[in-house]
């Protein structure tokens, strides 16, 4: 059969919805979703036409600020299956992701979809996990990944249970809880614990709204929970104060900063007032520690907000992160786990504000 693969156009909207309804009984993309992706620049939505009929489509999402692409959906009309259309769309989608600078292509597939699993494995996808109760019908999903650019090293991952932050301002506590649980399974995260850690570590104020978490505040919270910890900060001044406009609020931020500095000294927590390198992050990770890294979210959402993430792996080209805050582009929890960030991208992302703040908190197993 001859078929044409091309980018989807706005005029395909009705056909895409009809195709979706013909292929799936549950977990369907809505008309609104298709309309969103047709105008989105962070994806590749490709269709296959056979005899002037829209026979299939593939939707691949390119996550901003990372080198990860994810096959969000693939559908072929039942009467058009067995003609090689799915294979051709997968190859075209991989080329699109590669052209967009992506290093990894991921997907999820139902454990009982043997035909699709056989195709993915034939195309070089490797199983790297299982997601329980993934679909609306409660079936489990296998997680597959393919490195779509050449490399000479296998990813070194650590089992880190992912947590979603429950407020807009508790990325720091969520990151710390992920790290502490990974290091000690007897430590149990909770929403109450999330809020308590924020209260212990907050700067009180930031640019607007509630303050985020100070690296020294997070270190003190970890120490109180009997973990070993050390901190790297590339400057000695008051952190985050430049974004605060009100003078009285600036005084509070400075007061909190000075208090944290005094407390870490009293607790004997090592603080290195120098930038931490990626080699040092990897060395800490290899030694059994889990780093928390402050990044700017500008590459992801253009908001220039400070945001804490958890290092969960590395390879020759990337450091992998767990991010506690899904967004419009990363609506699925899986999209926030083991996010590959190229080393050159992380070098830019791990600077925040006018003063180019770089900071990391290194968490180790329970202290003696």
What's the CATH number where 18 sits? 3.40.630.30
Question: Per residue of the chain (368 residues), what is the pLDDT tens digit?
Answer: 589 999 999 999 999 999 999 999 888 999 999 999 999 998 999 999 988 899 999 999 998 878 889 999 999 999 999 999 999 999 999 999 999 989 889 999 999 999 999 999 999 999 988 888 888 888 899 999 998 876 556 778 888 999 999 999 999 999 999 999 999 999 999 999 999 999 999 999 986 668 899 999 999 999 999 999 999 999 999 999 988 888 999 999 999 999 999 999 999 999 999 999 999 999 999 999 999 999 988 766 666 789 999 999 998 888 999 999 986 555 567 778 888 898 988 998 999 888 899 999 999 997 55
Residues 104 and 191 in one domain: no
Token digits of residue 336: 């926030």
Q: Produce one character per residue of 76-114: b if its CB has 16 or more CB atoms within 10 Å, e if not.
A: bbeebeebebbebbbebbbebbeeeebbbbbbbbbeeee
Residue at 157 is within a domain: no
Residue at 160 is within a domain: no
Residue at 119 is within a domain: yes
Residue at 347 is within a domain: yes
Residues 98 and 145 in one domain: yes
Give the residue numbers spanning the domain of 117. 4-150
Number of compact structural domains in the chain: 2
Residues 85 and 220 in one domain: no
Mark which of 150, 184, 216 sits at the end of a domain. Answer: 150
304: left (phi over 0), alpha (psi -120 to 50) or beta: left
Residues 100 and 177 in one domain: no
Short-list 284, 331, 292, 297, CA closest to 308? 292
Rounded (5°) CA angle 271-325-220: 25
Residues 17 and 74 in one domain: yes
Residues 99 and 139 in one domain: yes
Residues 55 and 141 in one domain: yes
Mark which of 115, 150, 185 sits at the end of a domain. Answer: 150
Residues 124 and 269 in one domain: no
Evaluate whether 104 touches 146 at the Cβ level (below 8 Å): yes
């Amino acid at each position: 059969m001859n078929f044409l693969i091309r980018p989807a156009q706005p005029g395909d909207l009705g056909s895409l919805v009809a195709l979706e309804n013909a292929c799936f009984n549950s977990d369907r993309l809505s008309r609104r979703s298709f309309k969103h992706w047709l105008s989105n620049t962070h994806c590749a939505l490709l269709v296959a036409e056979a005899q002037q009929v829209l026979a299939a489509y593939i939707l691949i999402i390119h996550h901003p600020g990372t080198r990860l692409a994810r096959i969000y959906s693939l559908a072929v009309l039942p009467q058009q299956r067995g003609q090689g259309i799915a294979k051709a769309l997968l190859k075209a989608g991989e080329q699109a992701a590669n052209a967009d600078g992506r290093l990894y292509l991921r997907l999820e597939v139902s454990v009982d979809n043997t035909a699709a699993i056989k195709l993915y494995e034939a195309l070089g996808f490797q199983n790297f996990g299982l997601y329980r109760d993934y679909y609306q019908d409660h079936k489990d999903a296998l997680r597959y990944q393919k490195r779509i650019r050449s490399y000479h090293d296998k990813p070194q991952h650590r089992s880190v249970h992912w947590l979603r932050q429950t407020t807009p301002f508790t990325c720091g506590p969520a990151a710390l809880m992920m790290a502490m649980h990974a290091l000690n399974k007897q430590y149990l995260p909770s929403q109450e614990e999330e809020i308590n850690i924020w209260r212990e570590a907050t700067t009180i104020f930031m640019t607007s709204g509630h303050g985020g978490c100070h690296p020294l505040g997070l270190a003190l919270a970890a120490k109180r929970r009997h973990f070993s910890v050390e901190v790297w900060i590339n400057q000695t001044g008051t952190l985050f104060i430049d974004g605060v406009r009100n003078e009285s609020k600036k005084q509070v931020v400075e007061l909190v900063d000075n208090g944290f500095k005094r407390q870490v000294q009293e607790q004997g927590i090592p603080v290195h007032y120098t930038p931490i390198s990626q080699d040092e992050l990897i060395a800490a990770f290899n030694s059994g520690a889990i780093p928390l890294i402050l990044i700017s979210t500008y590459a992801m959402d253009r908001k220039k907000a400070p945001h804490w993430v958890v290092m969960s792996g590395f390879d020759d080209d990337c450091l992998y992160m767990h991010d506690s805050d899904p967004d419009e582009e990363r609506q699925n929890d899986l999209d926030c786990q083991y996010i590959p960030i190229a080393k050159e991208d992380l070098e830019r992302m791990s600077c925040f504000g006018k003063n180019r703040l770089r900071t990391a908190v290194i968490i180790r197993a329970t202290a003696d």
